[in-house]
């Protein structure tokens, strides 16, 4: 039987519970996921030598990591060829591309250092998102950046973030779509601090200074990402959840929730509805924490599906800016990226194929037995047939067939990077 024939049967089955598979696929086709550039080279970038610091870590040394902008761009193209739809590319400031022999420190970055990325995005009809990079740099002193008591340190990072706003605005102008710019700082203490207030007060003031430069708020959506701890910063994190939500609410910027940044039994899926009641727009980093903020590859698992459901059933595909954030160096990086992208897309499709109105109605009527019954039965509906047809009709490989291309790419390209 062909993929289409399987699909036609699935379509009927979904129609019997009021789900329009055509509409679901159409919506999915126009839903951009912000794909992080940093899975391709273990968050290294092109502006420094030396390790990844800032309380985050990549583990593994699988061969074939991208070493140059050209290699990273080629890898991104490979991944995109295996994922349906048009997406956004999420860059970090340490991915600036300099002319031969040129070097510009992060506080002096200009739009021109990202012109090649704009060209890349334009050619592919993609938008760009952006992130200042406040880690892996010698101006991170004692694990502190925007909350540092040293004004030289703080001012350096303030200038960096202001430069990033200008670069983000350039992206938005050039590409005709808003740029989501997310600020994450690693700042914190390994052990119990003597003063929790002062670093947070300085962080607040730094952010106010950053946001004080003129920029078009319809073009640059500044976000602030919270965290609960980092490696080597286990006891205190300056940019905690409370700090971030309150700051974002009071300054009219977006809070960003990374689902690796909470206590292990806390789930972001449960937070989305509350946030949507108080913010016009929010942002997410979709990742997979295994016991800690481990940034494993996103799977088609319960929590990722639940996150997607919250976005879809609250009609919030436009209000939630979602991007991926993981970095696994222990397996083929192209495969890791592709699995993560395809899986988040699958989760969105799963959510779009859920009879959300019907389930909500049952809940309103107190028919909770039926809510459970139907939610469980839905799990074995022929979701795979719709997913396969979505891939086929979008011109990307169906099921595991994309992996042959990864193997070929590994032999022909990745294994030559030595």
Residues that bind ligand RNT (CB under 6 A): 38, 43, 56, 131, 184, 225, 227, 258, 285, 293, 325
- Choosing from 285, 309, 321, 346, the catalytic residue is 285
- Subset of 239-278 contacting Zn ion (CB under 5 A): 258
- Choosing from 75, 187, 225, 310, the catalytic residue is 225
Query: Cβ neighbours of residue 393 under 8 Å, at least 6 residues apart?
Result: 25
- Choosing from 261, 271, 309, 346, the catalytic residue is 261
- Choosing from 184, 337, 387, 402, the catalytic residue is 184
38: annotated active-site residue: no
Number of other residues whose CB lies within 10 A of the CB of residue 165: 23
In the complex, the smallest distance separating the C-beta of residue 45 from ligand RNT, rounded to whole angstroms, is 10
| 41 contact choice in Zn ion, ligand RNT, none (CB below 5 to 8 Å, kind-dependent) | none
227: annotated active-site residue: yes
In the complex, the smallest distance separating the C-beta of residue 409 from ligand RNT, rounded to whole angstroms, is 24
In the complex, the smallest distance separating the C-beta of residue 233 from ligand RNT, rounded to whole angstroms, is 10
In the complex, the smallest distance separating the C-beta of residue 234 from ligand RNT, rounded to whole angstroms, is 13
| 43 contact choice in ligand RNT, Zn ion, none (CB below 5 to 8 Å, kind-dependent) | ligand RNT
In the complex, the smallest distance separating the C-beta of residue 326 from Zn ion, rounded to whole angstroms, is 9
| Sign of torsion over alpha carbons 344, 346, 349, 353 | negative
Residue at token pair 């990202």 = 114
Determine contact, residues 107/160, Cβ cutoff 8 Å: yes
DSSP 3-state of 218: coil
- Residue 262 DSSP code: S
Q: Which stretch binds Zn ion (CB under 5 A): 215-223, 264-272, 323-331, 354-362?
A: 323-331
- Residue 42 DSSP code: T
Run of H or E residues at 225 = strand 220-225
Of the CA atoms within 13 Å of residue 127, those in its CB half-sphere come to 24
Determine contact, residues 386/11, Cβ cutoff 8 Å: yes
261: annotated active-site residue: yes
325: annotated active-site residue: yes
Our finding on whether 129 is near Zn ion (CB under 5 A) is: no
CB-wise, 227 or 321, nearer to ligand RNT?
227
CB-wise, 285 or 333, nearer to ligand RNT?
285
Our finding on whether 42 is near Zn ion (CB under 5 A) is: no
Number of residues that bind Zn ion (CB under 5 A): 3
Q: How far is 72 from 82, CA to CA, in rounded Å?
A: 16
Burial letters 340-356, b for 16+ CB under 10 A, else e: bbbbbbbbbbbbbbbbb
285: annotated active-site residue: yes
404: annotated active-site residue: no
CB-wise, 183 or 362, nearer to ligand RNT?
183
Residue 240: both structure tokens together:
């905690």
In this structure, the strands spanning 236-237 and 188-189 are antiparallel
- Subset of 344-403 contacting Zn ion (CB under 5 A): none
Our finding on whether 154 is near Zn ion (CB under 5 A) is: no
Determine contact, residues 259/285, Cβ cutoff 8 Å: yes
Q: Which of 309, 56, 278, 11 is nearest to 187 (CA)?
A: 56
| 38 contact choice in ligand RNT, Zn ion, none (CB below 5 to 8 Å, kind-dependent) | ligand RNT
Our finding on whether 174 is near Zn ion (CB under 5 A) is: no
Q: How far is 133 from 291, CA to CA, in rounded Å?
A: 25
Residue 268 main-chain phi, psi, to 5 deg: -70, -30
In the complex, the smallest distance separating the C-beta of residue 186 from ligand RNT, rounded to whole angstroms, is 7
Our finding on whether 325 is near Zn ion (CB under 5 A) is: yes
- Choosing from 258, 310, 388, 410, the catalytic residue is 258
Q: How far is 415 from 46, CA to CA, in rounded Å?
A: 21
CB-wise, 11 or 321, nearer to Zn ion?
321
Query: Cβ neighbours of residue 316 under 8 Å, at least 6 residues apart?
Result: 272, 276, 310
In the complex, the smallest distance separating the C-beta of residue 162 from Zn ion, rounded to whole angstroms, is 21
Angle between helix 302-313 and helix 333-352 axes, rounded to 10 deg: 50
Q: How far is 94 from 45, CA to CA, in rounded Å?
A: 5
138: annotated active-site residue: no
Our finding on whether 169 is near Zn ion (CB under 5 A) is: no
CB-wise, 174 or 293, nearer to ligand RNT?
293
105: annotated active-site residue: no
| 322 contact choice in Zn ion, ligand RNT, none (CB below 5 to 8 Å, kind-dependent) | none
| Catalytic residue annotation | 184, 225, 227, 258, 261, 285, 293, 295, 325
| Interacting residue ranges for Zn ion, rule: CB under 5 A | 258, 285, 325
């Amino acid at each position: 039987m062909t993929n289409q024939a399987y699909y036609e049967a699935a379509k009927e089955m979904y129609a019997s519970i009021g789900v329009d598979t055509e509409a679901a696929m159409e919506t999915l086709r126009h839903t951009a996921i912000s794909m992080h550039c940093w899975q391709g080279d273990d968050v290294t970038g092109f502006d420094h030598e030396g390790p990844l610091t800032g309380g985050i870590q990549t583990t593994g040394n699988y061969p074939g990591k991208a070493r140059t902008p050209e290699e990273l761009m080629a890898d991104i193209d490979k991944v995109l060829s295996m994922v349906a739809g048009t997406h956004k590319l999420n860059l970090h400031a340490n991915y600036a591309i300099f002319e031969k022999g040129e070097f510009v420190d992060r506080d002096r970055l200009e739009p021109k250092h990202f012109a090649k990325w704009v060209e890349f995005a334009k050619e592919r009809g993609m938008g760009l998102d952006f992130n200042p990079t406040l880690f892996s740099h010698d101006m991170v002193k004692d694990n502190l950046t925007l909350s540092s008591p040293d004004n030289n340190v703080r001012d350096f990072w303030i200038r960096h973030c202001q430069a990033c706003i200008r670069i983000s605005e350039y992206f938005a102008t050039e590409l005709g779509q808003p740029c989501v710019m997310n600020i994450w700082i690693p700042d914190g203490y390994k052990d119990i601090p003597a003063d929790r207030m002062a670093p947070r007060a300085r962080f607040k003031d730094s952010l106010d200074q950053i946001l004080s430069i003129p920029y078009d708020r319809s073009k640059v959506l500044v976000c602030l990402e919270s965290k609960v701890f980092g490696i080597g910063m286990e006891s205190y994190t300056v940019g905690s959840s409370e700090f971030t939500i309150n700051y974002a609410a009071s300054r009219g910027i977006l809070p960003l929730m990374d689902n690796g940044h909470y206590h292990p039994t806390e789930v972001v899926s449960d937070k989305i509805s509350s946030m949507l009641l108080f913010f016009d727009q929010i942002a997410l980093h979709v990742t997979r924490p295994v016991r800690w903020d481990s940034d494993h590859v996103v799977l088609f698992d319960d929590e990722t599906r639940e996150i997607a459901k919250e976005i879809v059933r609250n009609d919030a595909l436009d209000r939630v800016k979602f991007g991926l954030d993981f970095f696994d160096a222990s397996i083929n990086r192209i495969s890791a990226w592709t699995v993560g992208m395809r899986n988040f897309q699958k989760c969105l499709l799963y959510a779009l194929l859920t009879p959300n109105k019907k389930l909500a109605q049952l809940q309103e009527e107190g028919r909770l037995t039926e809510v459970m019954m139907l939610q469980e039965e839905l799990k074995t509906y022929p979701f795979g047939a719709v997913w396969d047809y979505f891939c086929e009709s979008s011109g990307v490989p169906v099921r595991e067939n994309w992996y042959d291309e990864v193997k070929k790419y590994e032999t022909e390209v990745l294994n030559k990077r030595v």
